Amino acid sequence: MKKVVIVGAGVAGLGAGIYARISGLESVIVEKNSFVGGNLTGWERDGHAIDNCMHWLTGTHPKTELFKIWNQVGMLGERVTLCRPESFADFEHNGQRISLYRDPNKTLTKMLSISPEDARESRRFIAAVKAFGRMQSDVSRAPACLPFYLRYRSMSLGDLASRFKHNLLRRMITDLFSPELSALSLLFAYGAFCIGNADLPYGGSKAAAERMRDRYLQLGGELITDVEVEQILLRNKRAVGVRLSDETLIACDAVICACDPFVTFGRLLPDRYMPKKLRRARADVIGTPLFSAIHAAFSCDESSELPKHSTVIDCRTLDLDGRRISHLVVKPYTKSLLPQPNGRAVLQVLIFLEDRESVRWIELSRNKEAYRAAKARFGRAIEQRVLSRYPSLKSSIKLLDVWTPASYVRYFGSSNGAFMGFAMKAGHALRYRLTPRIHGLKNVRLATQWQAIPGGLPQAVLQARRAVKTLPAPGSIKIIKITPVVSEA
C-alpha cells in the first residue's frame, strides 16, 4: 500500500485523509495543534461553548452532491441533527426590523411593505435568490440563473444596496457581510438557506471536526498532533518524505498540503513552486484581497430578550483603528445549537477586518501586554453596545473571550489571519481557479480552500477529494527510500 502524508488536520486535511483511505492509500495526517479542525473549531470558557466557525454549512440539502460528501466524511450523518433557524439573519435599524426569512416570499412581502418605492428592485432580488437556490438542488435549473448571474456578477453588495432607496433594505444587503463583497455572495448564500441547503449541524464546529476525525480514524488513518511539518523533502522532482519540527522524518510516496498555501510555498517547499495564479492573486490587493475578523464572546442568562438568530443591530459609533462602525452582528449560541450550562447562553459578535487592519492586530500581538489591553478595551466597548440594545442582560453578562487575526496566525498559520481564502469581490470570483497539481513536482498536491473563490468549508472538502483523485495511480508511485526513517505516532 502506498503512503501519503497530509499536512494539516483542518477540513481539507481530514477530508483528504478520508478520501485517501477510501482509495486504499496509507495515510498519515500531521497537525501542529493538539486539536483537529483548523478553523472549524470551538472551545470552552468557564464551561460555556464558544464556536469559531460555522454560520451556515452549504450542502445540507439531500439532493446536493455536497450533502453526499458531508455524509461520507462524517460532517453530517444519520445521527446528526440539523438546526434549521427560521431566518438567515434579522436586521434592525431606526426602530424598524426585517428578516431574511426561510420563505423568500415572506421576505418580499416585508420588503414591499417597508418600502413600496423599492418594489422593482426587491422583486428582482428575491427572484434571483430563488433562482440561485433552486439551482443548488437541481443543476438542470442552472440555465435559469444565467440572466441573474449576468446582472449581478459585477455588482458589489454596496452597488446592489445603492439601488434601494430605503435605509433598512440597504442595510439588509450590506451589513451581514461587507459592502465590497460580490452581490452573488449574498444571493447564493441566502438562496441556499431558502431551500434548506445552508443549515447547521447540532453541536457546532468543534463537534463536526471531531466527527470527521473519528471517521478518518475508523477508516484506519493515522493522525499525529502537536507537531509541525517543517519541510517537504524532495528528490528528482518528487517528494520522498517530510521533516517534522521534532526532527522526525516520515518517508512517503506522496504529500498533500492541506495547510495555508503561504505556509506551503516558501516554508515547506521552495517559493519557486508557488503557482503563478496564486502569486498574482496574493499581490492583487484590490481584486482578491484578504480579510479576517475580530470577535468577542459573552456569557449571559438565556432570556426572551436574546436575539434568536444572527441579528444586525444599530450601535453607538465604534472607532476601530479609525474605521467608524455603526452596527454589530450579534449571534446567539443557545442550547438549540450548542450545549451550554443550564439557563445560560453565549452571545458572539464578529466584525470583519480588512487586511491592513488584520496586520495591525498581528503586529500588536507581538507586545503581549498592549495586545491584551487592546483586546480588553475591545471587549468592553462591545459589551456596552450590546447592553444598550439588550439592557436586561446587564446583571448577567460576562466577557468570555476576544480573539483576533493574530489568533488565526498563531494557531493555524493563516496568512494575515485570513480564514476564508481570497475575498469574493465583484467580477473576480469565478476567474480564479487553482489545480491541485504543483508544476514541477510529480507527487505533491494542494488541498485547500484557497484554490477557488469563495473559500469556505465546501471548497476545502471538494479540493481534498480532487487532490486525492489526482494523485499518481498507486502503481505509478515510485518509492524512494530515505534514511533515517522514523515514523512516530
Ligand X SMILES: Cc1cc2nc3c(=O)[nH]c(=O)nc-3n(C[C@H](O)[C@H](O)[C@H](O)COP(=O)(O)OP(=O)(O)OC[C@H]3O[C@@H](n4cnc5c(N)ncnc54)[C@H](O)[C@@H]3O)c2cc1C
* Binding footprint of ligand X on the chain (CB under 6 A): 7-13, 30-33, 38-40, 52-56, 228-229, 258-260, 263, 293, 350, 412-414, 419-420, 448-449, 455-458, 460
Closest to ligand X by CB, 18 or 350: 350
As measured in angstroms, the least distance from the Cβ of 417 to ligand X is 9
Place of cell 472549524: 40
Closest to ligand X by CB, 35 or 371: 35
As measured in angstroms, the least distance from the Cβ of 250 to ligand X is 12
As measured in angstroms, the least distance from the Cβ of 198 to ligand X is 8
Contact 457, 208 (CB under 8 A): no
As measured in angstroms, the least distance from the Cβ of 15 to ligand X is 8
List the beta strands (DSSP E) in 245-310: 249-251, 254-257, 291-301
As measured in angstroms, the least distance from the Cβ of 394 to ligand X is 27
**Distance from C-alpha of 417 to C-alpha of 106, rounded to nearest angstrom:** 38
Residue 396, number of CB atoms within 10 A of its CB? 15
Contacts of 11 (CB under 8 A, 6+ apart): 37, 38, 39, 40, 75, 209, 212, 449, 457, 460, 461, 464
Closest to ligand X by CB, 129 or 462: 462
Place of cell 440563473: 145
**Distance from C-alpha of 153 to C-alpha of 168, rounded to nearest angstrom:** 23
**Distance from C-alpha of 355 to C-alpha of 175, rounded to nearest angstrom:** 18
DSSP per-residue letters across 118-186: GHHHHHHHHHHHHHHHHHHH-GGGHHHHHHHHHHHTT-BHHHHHHT--SHHHHHHHHSSS-TTBBHHHH
As measured in angstroms, the least distance from the Cβ of 317 to ligand X is 24
User: Between the CA of residue 206 and those of 212, 359, 456, what are the distances in Å?
Assistant: 10, 27, 16
Closest to ligand X by CB, 75 or 131: 75
Contacts of 166 (CB under 8 A, 6+ apart): 114, 115, 117, 118
Closest to ligand X by CB, 341 or 413: 413
Helix (H, G, I), strand (E, B), or coil: what is residue 414?
coil
Closest to ligand X by CB, 4 or 420: 420
Closest to ligand X by CB, 9 or 25: 9
**Distance from C-alpha of 172 to C-alpha of 167, rounded to nearest angstrom:** 9
As measured in angstroms, the least distance from the Cβ of 476 to ligand X is 27
As measured in angstroms, the least distance from the Cβ of 473 to ligand X is 25
Closest to ligand X by CB, 163 or 410: 410
